[in-house]
Chain A
Amino acid sequence: QLQLRESGPGLVKPSETLSLTCTVSGGSISSTNYYWGWIRQPPGKGLEWIGSIYYSGSTYYNPSLKSRVTISVDTSRNQFSLKLSSVTAADTAVYYCASPRPDSSSCYHYWGQGTLVTVSS
């Protein structure tokens, strides 16, 4: 059973860079043929896809966030990471990492528990 866990600071100052890591257990990132994703949810609002990465490093990003987002992968640590630059209060959200199913890359089956990141001075 695949398990994902987000980690990183819960508080980030405006204009700084938000950095989160997703640690995968129960399976190897490099043995999969699908994209691992980051999704966020502002308080009281809906889900927003941030972007996704393949084990080789190939990425897709949400066009509305693309200029500020970098997603990277470290197969040796079985982790993938999110960096979001120049954050504002609008970036305050619960951030989730997620993975598709082995038999379908069109969905997110496995989710981390989520981590709340607050942008405030």
Chain B
Amino acid sequence: QSVLTQPPSVSAAPGQKVTISCSGGSSNIGNNYVSWYQQLPGTAPKLLIYDNNKRPSGIPDRFSGSKSGTSATLGITGLQTGDEADYYCGTWDSSLSARVFGGGTKLTVL
């Protein structure tokens, strides 16, 4: 059971928009930065969003992040078949003194 809760799967059509939620508590999301990762099959995770809403160089602006209270959201617009992957949220948990990840969300582009 992950400390951070994500939906197991989401789906949308090419060109559409999708959001992935990440729910936590005051000891993690509520008081720490959130990051998001994309993992394509057979590859290492790739950083998409850090510090809640910042994009590393090279990440398209189709990807966005936001945080409100103890929840965070990853948004992806203009969906492409190449966006099919697993997506994970992550943050620090101050009570556990540990980094925590969500259980992951599988995105299907129909």
| B98 contacts chain A at the CB level, 8 A cutoff | yes
Q: Hey, what's the 0/1 contact readout for B89-110 against A, CB within 8 Å counting as 1? A: 0111000111111111000000
Q: State which size class the interface on B falls in.
A: 20 to 34
| B50 contacts chain A at the CB level, 8 A cutoff | yes
Contacts known (A46-B88, A47-B104); A108 close to B32, Cβ less than 8 A: no
| B64 contacts chain A at the CB level, 8 A cutoff | no
Interface hub of B98, B99, B100, B103 (most chain A Cβ within 10 A): B99
In the bound complex, what is the Cα–Cα distance between A106 and B33 (angstroms)? 6
In the complex, the chain A residue whose C-beta lies closest to that of B48 is A107
Supply 11 A–B pairs (Cβ within 8 Å), ascending by A: A49-B98, A49-B99, A60-B97, A63-B98, A106-B50, A106-B51, A108-B37, A108-B90, A111-B45, A112-B44, A113-B44
Given A62-B98, A106-B92, A111-B44: 18 more A-B contacts, CB < 8 Å? A37-B99, A46-B103, A46-B104, A47-B37, A48-B101, A49-B99, A49-B100, A61-B98, A63-B98, A101-B47, A104-B33, A104-B50, A104-B51, A104-B54, A107-B51, A111-B45, A112-B44, A114-B44
- B residues within 8 Å of A by Cβ? 2, 32-33, 35, 37, 44-47, 50-51, 54, 56, 86, 88, 90-92, 96-104
